[in-house]
A and B are shown apart, each in its own frame.
Chain A
Amino acid sequence: MIIKNGPNIRLASQLKLSKLGMRAFHRVSAFIKPTTRMIQHFGYKSTKAKFGINEGQLLKLLEGESIPADLDLDDGYVILDLKNRWILGLGLLINGRVRSQLPRKEIRAIMVKENPVTYDKHTTVNGYQ
Chain B
Amino acid sequence: MQIFNDYRKIIPEFDLFREALHSPLPKHIRVNTLKTDVSSLIGSLEEKDVHLEKIFGEDDTLYLAPALKFPGNQIAYFLGHIHPQALTSCLASIVLSPKKNSYVLEMCAAPGGKTSHLAQLMDNTGLIVANELYPSRHIPLGHTLERLGVLNTTITGYQAQEFPLKQRFDYILADVPCSGEGGFRKTTENSQYTEVSEKQKLPDLQKKIILRGFDLLKEDGEMLYSTCTYNPEENESVVSFLLQNRDAVLIPLDANSEYEKGILEWKDEKYDTELRKTARFYPHRINSVGFFMARIGRRR
Complex Cα distance, B75 from A112, in Å, reads 7
- From B55, which residue of chain A is reached at the shortest CB distance? A129
Task: Establish whether residues B150 and A22, one from each chain, have CB atoms under 8 Å apart when the complex forms.
Answer: yes
Q: How big is the B interface, by class?
A: 35 or more
By the criterion CB–CB under 8 Å, are A128 and B166 in contact?
A: no
In the complex, whether B14 has a CB less than 8 A from a CB of chain A is no
CA distance A15 to B164 in the complex (A): 8
Stretch at the interface among A65-73, A92-100, A114-122: A114-122
Number of interface residues of A (CB under 8 A): 44
CA A4 to CA B53, docked complex, whole Å: 33
Contact of B73 among A19, A118, A129 (CB under 8 A): A118
A30 located at the interface, meaning its Cβ lies under 8 Å from any Cβ of chain B in the complex:
no
Whether the pair A119, B53 counts as a contact (CB closer than 8 A) is no
Q: Which of B54-72 contact A (CB under 8 A)?
A: 64, 66-70
B212 at the interface (CB under 8 A from A): no
Closest Cβ–Cβ distance, residue A2 to chain B (whole Å): 7
Check: B35 CB closer than 8 A to any chain A CB: yes
**Besides A119-B68, A125-B66, 5 other A-B contacts (C-beta < 8 A):** A15-B167, A37-B146, A37-B149, A110-B73, A119-B49
User: Measuring CB to CB, which residues of chain A are less than 8 angstroms from any residue of chain B?
Assistant: 2-4, 6, 8-9, 11-12, 14-23, 35, 37, 40-41, 82, 85-86, 88, 106-108, 110-112, 114-115, 118-121, 123-126, 128-129
